[in-house]
Structure 1
Amino acid sequence: MFARFSTHAGALTLVGASLSIATPASAGIGDLLVAPTRVVLDGRRGTEVILNNIGDDVATYRVTAELRRMTADGKLVDVPTPSDADKIAQEMVLFAPRKVTLPPNQPQAIRLSARVPQGVADGEYRIHLLFRAIPPAQPQVATPVQKVEGVSFRLTPIYGVTIPVIVRLGNLEATAAISNVHKASVEGQPVIAMDIDRKGARSTFGEVRVMKAGVSDPIAVVRGIAIYTEINRREVLVPVDPKLAAQASGAVTVQYVEPTDSGPVMLAETSATLR
């Protein structure tokens, strides 16, 4: 699985300016592919994240560790005051290099490992790695000048991809349940809304499928649904293709499926009637 600079992938971060950007990073900053988009470590083996510059120009990226907390609607917000577990996670996860310059179509491995201090309790610890493009010293295209009460300044958007890095210590279990399944609309787009409850010592991650009897493929699906340990319930919205809107009624089966090394595992399943 790859993440790239885009506004629809859910992995785009804009740093240093409060703006909504509706286009990918420009060639002057560089386009970045990141794989994988989620890392789970057990404290024994390390792994790698591969960066690939798919832009037309040389680009430089800085890698930093961030702390994020999930809200009940699935958003990730900055952590203003780190907890003890947050501080342990920051010290535990090691990564290098922290700055790379990539020519076009040139991959680069970021090495990741977890050094577990003695006496750390079993549990799940998490940071988020931010891969942030560094703008060139002399931008190819001048940014517009903004004026506020006689003061002029330029806004330079800095793009970044954020991925979670999770360290799991011990034999951690989790269960999930689906409830409150109903149809809704978000900005005119039909969706199937639901709540997913999580219990246990670890987070869950997977895809939500809405199945209809007699139809082989899901009539709606959303991937990459995580429920982190700081919340026990998350609201999930599953977009419905307008072409399949007529099928999104009546009896359906909703599944929350987690990928594992040995194959997909059903975390939760329920039947519902959509009206």
Structure 2
Amino acid sequence: MSLPTSAVLAILLAVASLGAQSPPPPAPEAAPPKGEGDLMVLPTRVVLEGRERSAEVFLKNYGSEKATYRVFFREMRMTPEGTLENRDKAPEEQTAADVIRYSPRQVELAPGETQVVRIQVRIPEGLPAGEYRSHLNFQAVPKVAPPSLAPLENDKAVHFKLIPIYGISIPVIVRHGEVVAEGGISAIRCFQDAKLAAGATILEFKFDRKGNRSLLADVTVTVDSGGPLKPGTLLQEAKGVAVYNGLDFRLIRMPLLGAPKGTQLNATRLKIVLTYRDLKKLPVVAFHTVDI
């Protein structure tokens, strides 16, 4: 069922407001670029499984100029550090892009205008059970001025004009048949690095994954006992940390900014909790004592 435009705008504003209230406060970010870069996409992740066969993605141009966006799939891999990189499909590999139809393929949005991209899954007969993922891209079509016909006098150099192309991508995941996964925490350590967080204590650990599907979890780090801070003090949190299928672990680094500047966390026992978003499993809990 399609939502009226007023309802879509209300959803967009509500999500933006919630994101601004997540503690602890993030570092200030630069204002988004104007023109082609002013695009909001919701949701930021699409999962289709069980009887779910369709979804809608809402686009909004919150800039001051009309903008055009191409919509297309691309394949990406996640590195152990959590970075997404473009990749080529392997021979005979099947991904979400092979079982999904979507429209439109290009949208033109006036300032403040909202558009819906509709996604539909078509599972072919004989498709092996598993998780299939591709990334849906919304890439701005740059406004290119017509080339000048005036000759360049006494100029033998080659000239290039670089035009930035803005884009946003979101994962689209299709789960078919039986899919299972287990997660855990390992290789925990703490260290200090002035280049990473102005001398704050850095917590590092591996978010492990086994099985044939991705994992998505929220991470919280609190004081369990010991040290100068009260038990339960929130030191850091991260929402929606993903480890995609095909990756055995993701290396997580979290500056413990919840501790007042200059606080020494030596002998503090940390409590690390992974709470799954899309699995009906108990949270994964690990403890680590800071020793720097």
Do the two structures share a fold, i.e. TM-score over 0.5? yes
Structure with more strand by fraction: 1
Whether 1:61 and 2:69 are equivalent positions in the alignment is yes
TM-align CA RMSD: 2.7
Aligned runs of 1:96-111 on 2, under 5 Å?
96-111=103-118
Aligned equivalents of 2:46, 2:265: Cα separation in 1: 34
Cα distance in 2, alignment partners of residues 157 and 69 from structure 1: 23
**What is the Cα deviation at residue 93 of structure 1?**
1.7
- TM norm structure 2: 0.76
Residue ranges of structure 1 left out of the alignment (5+ in a row): 5-21, 140-148
Q: Matches of 2:132 and 2:222 in 1, distance apart?
A: 34
Q: Where do 4+ consecutive residues of structure 1 move more than 3 Å?
A: 1-4, 22-26, 214-217, 242-245
Question: Which of the pair has more CA radius of gyration?
Answer: 2
The question of 1:136 aligning with 2:154 is answered: no
* Distance in 2 between residues matched to 1:33 and 1:64, nearest whole Å: 16
CA displacement at 1:244 relative to structure 2: 3.9
Shift of 1:83: 4.7
Give the Å deviation of 1:25.
Answer: 5.4
Identity %: 33
2:210 is equivalent to residue 199 of structure 1 = yes
Output one character per residue of 1:227-254: Cα deviation in whole Å (capped at 9) or x when no partner: 1111111111123327546375510111
The 3 A distance-change label for structure 1 pair 92 and 138 is same
Q: Does the CA contact (< 8 Å) of 2:216 and 2:278 recur in 1?
A: no
Deviation at 1:36, TM superposition (A): 0.5
TM-score when normalising by structure 1: 0.80
What residue in structure 2 maps to residue 240 of structure 1?
A: 256
C-alpha separation in 2, matches of 1:84 and 1:56: 44
> What 5-or-longer segments of structure 2 have no aligned partner?
1-10, 17-28, 147-155, 225-229
- SS state at 2:234 partner: coil
Partner of 2:86: 78
- 1:217 & 1:112 partners in 2: Cα distance? 42
Residues in 2 aligned to 1:97 and 1:198: alpha-carbon distance in whole angstroms:
35
The answer to whether the 8 Å contact 2:188/2:288 transfers is yes
Matches within 5 A, 1:1-275: 26-42=33-49, 44-85=52-93, 87-138=94-145, 150-184=157-191, 185=193, 187-189=195-197, 190=200, 191-213=202-224, 214-216=230-232, 218-241=234-257, 243-244=259-260, 246=263, 248-249=265-266, 250-260=268-278, 266-275=282-291
CA distance in 1, matches of 2:282, 2:166: 36
Alpha-carbon offset, residue 266 of structure 1: 4.0
